[in-house]
Structure 1
């Protein structure tokens, strides 16, 4: 995270959000995925870590909010992420600011465990 986002090590805490706290932009997510794959020898399938396909699907989004069905899809796709706060007010525009460093660590742990 430090190299990908150009932040100080002390800023990268488990609860830090990638967008709000660490300033990640969409291009940074590509770099994060690349670095995770290289560092941990894992594959990150498109849409698994950042589920744009769910967040842009009219079946799962209405009036800018993720529907209950969409939340179910997100929970299935992202068991590593803590969606509790997002579920309380599931605005699509707020989704990117939900992911934390801890979520990324949990994701890597699940991938390394599966691919080991």
Structure 2
């Protein structure tokens, strides 16, 4: 099953916008005015639509991986290594959108519908692996 059409419809419903406004690369916050409550709503809807579980903070947790918190960020600002890991993880995001210094609480500003497609696919794979 193609993930994007479902993600697209789910996001349009959650944000109260037209399905055509949901492009793979649009910033959910800067392009579609999504707020943190909208992210919770979208994740909840995606969990239901795809029968997956996405723990809160999953993207940041996945980006950091096995990296120690101090290596990833200091005082709420990503380190060079942390920023490099973020760029790698969010490879779908245009490089010009990564600002230095990057605050951890500003990472969500980078998220696009494609970010959520990748999140859904990872959750599906994890669920199949857990079997």
TM-score by length of 1: 0.73
1:91 equivalenced with 2:102 (yes/no): yes
Q: 1:12 to 1:72 in 2, by over 3 A?
A: same
Shift of 1:73: 6.1
In the alignment, structure 2 segments of 5+ residues that lack a partner are 1-10
Distance 1:47 1:64 in 2: 15
Contact 2:78/2:102, CA 8 A, preserved across alignment: yes
User: Number of residue pairs matched?
Assistant: 108
- Compute the RMSD of aligned alpha carbons: 2.8
- Which structure shows the bigger proportion of residues in helix conformation? 2
Match of 2:114 among 86, 95, 102: 102
TM-score by length of 2: 0.66
Larger Rg: 2
